[in-house]
Amino acid sequence: MQTSAAGNKRHHRYLGPAALCRGFTLLELLVVMALMVLAMAGVSLSLRDSADSALQRDAERLAALLETGRAQARANGLPVVWRAQGAAQGAAFVFEGLPPPGLPSQWLSDTTRTAPGQFLILGPEPLIGPQALAISSSERPDNRLWVVTDGLRPFRVQNLPPTGTAPP
């Protein structure tokens, strides 16, 4: 007669460690899947389009340079004009009217361009008229950013073309 007392159960023949580990537990699978999701999210966030980020960086830098040129024009009482120049009409730019050493005259990215004949008047008056400048990348010409001001507020970067009204 068999009893259920401890130690009275029949032992099965030992088949080795491979027979005991036949799969993964649900918890192990969930941990691995969570790690894979986190890794994929990190990779997808770090793989931003380089042409877009270079254009954004150049637009923000140009807005800061234009504000610097505007401040120097007011401080020195000089008329200052920003003008696109270079071989490809927009491959570089110049701040005309600033005393030496002036401000930088190259884009950070070699692919950043402006339309031919673009210029902005920066001073010496404290209030300037509404102005806008479209910049794009030669790699993706359909993607444009605008550096705009309403004449009173600082230059800023926006994704949409300026309207006839003052920006909010």
Residue 136 falls within a domain, yes or no?
Answer: yes
Residue 33 falls within a domain, yes or no?
Answer: no
**pLDDT of 141 above 90:** no
Range of 83's domain? 50-158
Q: How many domains are there within the chain?
A: 1
Mean pLDDT, all residues of the chain: 82
Residues 117-141, mean pLDDT to the nearest whole number = 88
Using DSSP's 3-state secondary structure scheme, residue 82 falls into strand
pLDDT tens, position by position, 38-74: 999 888 777 766 778 889 999 999 999 999 999 999 9
In this structure, are residues 143 and 52 in contact, taking their beta carbons and an 8 Å threshold?
A: yes
pLDDT of residue 168: 38
In this structure, are residues 156 and 63 in contact, taking their beta carbons and an 8 Å threshold?
A: yes
- Which amino acid, residue 164? G
Residues 3-16, mean pLDDT to the nearest whole number = 59
**pTM of the predicted model as reported, rounded to 2 decimal places:** 0.67
Those residues whose C-beta lies under 8 Å from the C-beta of residue 100, and which sit 6 or more positions away, are: none
Residue 88 falls within a domain, yes or no?
Answer: yes
pLDDT of residue 33: 95
Give the helix/strand (H/E) hosting 157: strand 156-158
Which pLDDT band, with edges at 50, 70 and 90, does 14 fall under?
low
Instruction: Give the CA dihedral 52, 109, 151, 166, nearest 10 degrees.
Output: -10
Residues 21-45, mean pLDDT to the nearest whole number = 88
Q: How would you class 134 by CB atoms within 10 Å of its CB: exposed for 0-12, middle for 13-18, buried for 19 or more?
A: middle
Using DSSP's 3-state secondary structure scheme, residue 91 falls into coil
Residue 9 falls within a domain, yes or no?
Answer: no
pLDDT of residue 67: 94
Residue 75 falls within a domain, yes or no?
Answer: yes
Residue 117 falls within a domain, yes or no?
Answer: yes
pLDDT of residue 167: 39
Residue 44 falls within a domain, yes or no?
Answer: no
**pLDDT of 117 above 70:** yes
pLDDT of residue 5: 59
Question: Residue 94: which CATH number?
Answer: 3.55.40.10
Residue 21 falls within a domain, yes or no?
Answer: no
- CA of 157: how far to CAs of 6, 52, 135, in Å? 78, 13, 10
